[in-house]
Structure 1
Amino acid sequence: MERTIPGLPSKSKRWVGEMKEIAATFAEVGLTPKILDGAADMFQFVGDTRLADLQPEDQGSFPVMEDIITIFSEYLDT
């Protein structure tokens, strides 16, 4: 996770639509779309944070996991 999570925010916005498309396909064939709808919600949450403005090629300047968790927590509704 410590290698994967830092790069996630910079790509999260584009994954929202992909998850929704796959969810719709699942629903069309009678499978539950819920897990994919949930993934879309999570990617949207991450995409709405300031971390989403980081560029994938700036990987060396991504915050460490602890800082990412702190930043995510700032965006949670309390």
Structure 2
Amino acid sequence: MGGGETFMTVFQEWWEQHTWHERERVTYFLKWAPPPRWIPWMADVIRDLEPWEEDGEFDYTRYYAQLKQLGFGGTADVEADMEDSRWD
């Protein structure tokens, strides 16, 4: 494991103990924003998405647009972060 998987496992345990509505979830991430490369995961936990149940590649486009309107990064931010040499 690496790249934050342990953190995400512990976080998921903690997250599931809360019964927050979507607005409360958004407020949490506005206060403690993850790096842009985690935006797809953040969309999953905010909206209770299950992309692994989709056939083919899951299209986050509409969720990125909604998150960008709320003040989070969008597609360009995710792509730029994925290309950032700091993560090599």
* Same fold at TM > 0.5: no
TM-score, normalised relative to structure 1: 0.29
Higher RCO, Cα 8 Å, sep 6+: 1
Larger Rg: 1
